[in-house]
Amino acid sequence: MACIEARGLRKSFGATIALDGIDLHVEEGRILGLIGPNGAGKSTALNAILGLTPYQGELRVLGRDPWVERDQLTRDVAFIADVAVLPRWIRVSQLLDYAAGVHPRFDRAKALSFLAKTSIKRTSKVRELSKGMVTQLHLALVMALDAKLLVLDEPTLGLDILVRKQFYDALLNDYFDRNRTIVVTTHQVEEIQDVLTDVMFINHGRIVFDCSMEDFETRFVEVMVTPEHVAAARALRPIHERQVFGRSILLYDRVDRQQLAALGDVRTPGIADLFVAVMGNSANQAQGAAS
């Protein structure tokens, strides 16, 4: 059974359409990156999955309707958003007591052993912790909740690179396994490229690109073309072209690697590069359609 199953998910705020008929199918054991520009509808999609916002269309998370069964669903779903949501007045020990009180499967020992690796004191209030420590604290809770689905909305925003690295390391080593699913949105795409199993681009409330990372690595090739081969390279229908230090870098989808290797240096592109290509193309198409 799919962890998240959506069909024709729609949501509008007045005249603004935030989600314009999204289809989603996320199997358990996947780590899905939801990438998109600001205002693309990422957070709205996550809010719908978490039962924080009503929607039109069909949506099932762990077999439940999130809007109707939020309080049941949140036993198995954990959520970390742009860190600032932990109440600032609460003490670490109170937070653990509360979570143990309302969650049926809270494992306090697990949370404590995770916290022991940090400099967070149990008597501290959240407002006394640094931003990085708040994220660690939230992560400690999530570890102990034994949640089946973890939703991360810009979890590492405003954190330094060391903490960001620790965050994803802890997520992979201490939390993730075949029975769990993670959905993450972030602007720091490069950092999670190796973490993801699937990637999805969302723009103007629609999914414009959807691919597993295995496919990603076989499908897409980036070539730094030597100047004399530029014309030949362009003939192979790249999906995007950019200039770096006077050299042309061309991006291809499903073009034979051997053939491309003759034209210059070949490498697997970053998600960010593909994102720019896909978004640029869809903007051009929109312009083309308008004119």
Partner 1 sequence: MNTQSGLSTPYPAGPQPAAPVPMPVTRPMYWSVRRELWENRSIYIAPLVVAAVVLFATSLAMIGLPRRMRAFPTLDPAKGHASIVMHFSMAPAPIMLAAFIVGFFYCLDALYGERRDRSILFWKSQPVSDGTTVLSKAGIPLVVLPLIAYALSVAAQIFLLMLGTMALLGSGQNPATWWGEVRFFQGLLIMFYGLAVHTLWFAPIYGWLLLISAWARRSPILWAVLPPLAVAAVERIVFSTSSFMHMLGYRVTGAMVEAFALKPKDGGNIDRLSQLDPARFLSAPGLWVGLVFAAVFLAAAVRLRRNREPI
Binding pattern for the stretch 29-68 against partner 1, x by CB under 8 A and - elsewhere: ---------------------xxxxx-------xxx----
- Is the Cβ of residue 40 or residue 50 nearer to partner 1 in the bound state? 50
State which of residues 146, 154, 198, 273 lies at the interface with partner 1 (CB under 8 A). Answer: 146
Q: Please identify which residue in the block is written with the tokens 């309080």.
A: 71
Segment contacting partner 1 by CB under 8 A, of 103-111, 198-206, 247-255, 280-288: 103-111
Question: Taking the complex as a whole, how short is the minimal distance between the CB of residue 169 and partner 1, in angstroms?
Answer: 22
Per CB under 8 A, 229 contacts partner 1: no
Phi, psi of 132, rounded to the nearest 5 degrees: -65, -40
Burial of 221 (0-12, 13-18, 19+ CB in 10 A): buried
What is the closest distance, in whole angstroms, from the C-beta atom of residue 170 to partner 1 in the complex?
19
The closest of 171, 152, 145 to 75, measured between CA atoms, is 145
For the CA atoms of 154, 157, 160, 162, the dihedral, rounded to the nearest 10 degrees, stands at -10
197 binds partner 1 (CB under 8 A): no
Q: Does 86 bind partner 1 (CB under 8 A)?
A: yes
* 227 binding partner 1? (CB under 8 A): no
The contact mask relative to partner 1 for 163-192 (x = CB under 8 A, - = no) is ---------------xx-------------
In this chain, which stretch among 74-82, 196-204, 221-229, 248-256 interacts with partner 1, using CB under 8 A? 74-82
32 close to 200: Cβ distance less than 8 angstroms: yes
Q: State the DSSP string of 111-151.
A: HHHHHHTSS--TT-BGGGS-HHHHHHHHHHHHHHHT-SEEE
**Binder of partner 1 out of 75, 131, 204, 247 (CB under 8 A):** 75
The least distance separating partner 1 from the CB of residue 62, rounded to whole angstroms, comes to 5
CB of 109 to partner 1, least distance (A): 13
Distance CA 60, CA 66 (A): 7
Contacts of 208 (CB under 8 A, 6+ apart): 201, 202, 278, 279, 282
What's the min distance (Å) between Cβ of 85 and partner 1? 4
77 near partner 1, judged by CB under 8 A: yes
What phi and psi, each to the nearest 5 degrees, are found at residue 224?
-90, 105
d(Cα 129, Cα 115) in Å, to the nearest integer? 13
The site for partner 1 (CB under 8 A) is made up of: 1, 28, 50-54, 62-64, 69-79, 81, 84-91, 94, 97-99, 101-105, 146, 148, 178-179
